Amino acid sequence: MSGGTVDVHTWEPNANSGKPLFALHEKRVAFTHHYVDMGVRAHHEPAYLALNPAGTIPTLVHDGLMLTESTPMLEYIDAAFPGPPLRPADPAARHRMRCVIRWLDNSVCPALAMVASNRLAAPRFRDTPEADKQAALAKISDPERRRTWRLLMYDATPADELAESHRRVSEGIDRLDRALGEAPWLAGDTFSLADITAIATLHSLPLAQPELCNAQAAPRLTQWLARMGERPAVQALAGYAP
C-alpha cells in the first residue's frame, strides 16, 4: 500500500480513458488529472511521447513510476492503493472477472469503437487536406493502430468488418443482459473491475444503440446502467470532460 503523487493522463472520461479515473474515484485516491486531446491526436506529439513512448492513452504516473495499458493498470490501482477492494477475494470469482474483462477488451469494446468512430469520427476527416492526413498517419508507429486510423480518415473500413462489429455489439448486449440475470454484478456477487471496464465503454449505449439497449430489449442491463449511474465515481467523471 502506498500514497504519494498520482498523475493521470487521459482523454475524455470514456472507454480506456475512463477506467483509471473511475477506479481511483472508487478507491477514494486523490490525483492530478491531465487532459490529452486525442481529437487533435495530442498523444502522437513529442510532448506526450516523452512521457509514454508508446503513445497510448491512458498513462498513470505513481511516485515517478510510469504505467500504461488500462487493464493491467486497473489491477495495479486496486493492489497499490488503500480503499474499498475492486476485485473479489475468491480465485474463481476473480477468474470470472478477468474473463469478462478479456471479452470486453478483445471483442465488445473494439466492435463498439469501430461502430462509433465510423459514425462520428470518419465524417470529420472528409475535408481534411491529403497532406495533413499523411502527416498525421506518419506519426503513428504501430502498424495496426496506423491501419485503423487510415481506414477511419479515408472512410474505408471494409463493410464485412463493420457488419461483424455490429453483430458483436448485438450479441454482447444479449450476453451482458443474461449475465446480469444470474448475478447483480458482472463478476458475480460483488462490484468489481469488470463493472468498471464495462461502464467506461457502455455508459452511452442507450443513446448509441437505442433499439438494442432499452428497458424492454435488455431489462437487466438497463437496470445495471441505472445502478451504476448512482455511484459517486460515475457522477464524478462528468468533471473530466473538457
Asked if 143 touches its own copies (CB under 8 A), the answer is yes
Is residue 12 close enough to count as binding its own copies by CB under 8 A? no
Cell numbers for 2: 502506498
The nearer residue to its own copies, 194 or 199, going by C-beta atoms, is 194
Question: By CB under 8 A, what part of segment 72-131 binds its own copies?
Answer: 72-73, 75-76, 79-80, 91-92, 94-95, 98-99, 102, 106
CB of 34 to its own copies, least distance (A): 20
Applying CB under 8 A, does 167 fall inside the site for its own copies?
A: yes
Between CA 164 and CA 194 the distance in angstroms is 24
Supply the minimum distance, in Å, between the C-beta of residue 55 and its own copies.
Answer: 15
CA–CA dist 157, 38 (Å, integer): 20
Question: Would you give the binding string for its own copies spanning residues 26-65, x where CB under 8 A is met?
Answer: ---------------------------------------x
Query: Is 9 one of the binding residues for its own copies (CB under 8 A)?
Result: no
**Out of 132, 155, 164, 189, the residue judged to bind its own copies by CB under 8 A:** 164
By beta-carbon proximity to its own copies, the closer residue of 75 and 174 is 75
Q: How far is the CB of 2 from its own copies (least distance, A)?
A: 8
Nearer to its own copies, 77 or 205 (CB): 77
Q: Is 19 in the site for its own copies (CB under 8 A)?
A: no
Q: Return residues touching its own copies (CB under 8 A).
A: 65, 67-69, 71-73, 75-76, 79-80, 91-92, 94-95, 98-99, 102, 106, 143-144, 164, 167
